[in-house]
Amino acid sequence: MKRTVFAGGSLAIAAMFVLGGCSIAPRVNLPDSKADSGQHEFNNSLAVMASQASAAGEYKIGPEDLLEVTLFDIEDNTGPRVIPVRVSNSGEITLPFVGKVDAGGLSSYELERRLTDVYRRFIHDPQLSVFIREYRSYQVSVVGYVETPGVYELRGRKSLLEGLALAGGLNKDAGHDVRLTRQTDKGVETVLIDLDRIARGGELGMNVALLPGDVIDVPQAGIFYVEGMVNKPGAYPLQQPTTVSQALATAGGADLTLANISGTVLLRKQESGERKSIPIRMSAIRKGKATDIFVEQDDVLVVPLSGTKYFLDRTLGLLRFDRRI
């Protein structure tokens, strides 16, 4: 890419940048190859987590599940009596001696406890087990910025990460905060899940078990802009927490031959729609004497032109007009 610096009106141009001329229109110049690479690595880390960690919470028995109830106290010719039983649409199962028992919405352990209480009317100290032989099928939807959005048919307990994997993982424009929407007894509820925290292994409880009808929505990543005298000005996806110094590094760093680094500002949109100019003390940040603040969606980081550097370069004839960066 070439950048041309115009020869005419050098002092006027320098003044526009130096005196806070922040009316710079952000240019969208997404670094696709870098985004693709970073998102590919992130998807790989999520896939590893999906294979290593089970979904948070016990699987709940539902209609059409095929259960295997073993009664150790009642034997037949082959040993303890094993009873295969299908859960009805109303969530009930029918067993010898006790008849119908509600099983829907229980984990296998919870059903074991319920059956133990029920059989206690006939057996002094009932010993039994419940095994889910066949899971019912159910559908979940994965929408938004994934490789293959759609409705997916699942069997058994599947986790959020497994649902994302079925949809091909996040695409290059995806953010790392996922919305999970489901119907509950209290109505429709939506929770926000931070995939970065799951990928780091610290919040495995967020890798929740999917339920029938769940909708996984992966929104687009926010965008921040880096403009002015940097080596790669443009727009970048805000896929993870990013500080000002990291944002500057993402844009290839400042152009040291022209940049007024001490004049760096961050333009942040306010509720009124206007942008607030926040001075950024890059030198103090590098020395640990100032806070390296985080950029937010739609922030514009501007590294202005140094009028002195520009004037000296023009005067001494050292400026290269079509300099590749």
Per-residue pLDDT of the chain (325 residues; tens, 9 = 90+): 333 333 333 333 333 333 333 333 333 333 444 456 667 777 776 766 666 555 656 778 888 899 999 999 888 888 899 999 999 989 999 999 899 999 988 989 999 999 999 999 988 899 999 999 988 888 999 999 999 999 999 888 888 999 999 999 988 888 888 999 998 888 899 998 888 888 776 566 788 888 889 999 999 888 899 999 999 999 888 877 899 999 999 999 998 888 999 999 999 988 888 899 999 999 999 999 999 999 998 899 999 988 887 776 676 654 454 444 4
CA distance 134 to 144: 31
pLDDT at 237: 85
pLDDT at 71: 93
CA distance 143 to 219: 9
Quote the pTM value.
0.57
CA distance 294 to 79: 66
CA distance 85 to 80: 16
pLDDT at 195: 86
pLDDT at 66: 94
pLDDT at 39: 73
261-300 in b/e form (b: 16+ CB < 10 A) is bebbbbbbeeeeeebeeeebbbeebeeeeeebeebeebbb
Residue-range domains of the chain with CATH: 2-21+222-324 (3.10.560.10), 40-57+136-218 (3.10.560.10), 66-134 (3.30.1950.10)
Q: Pull the structure tokens for residue 141.
A: 């939807």
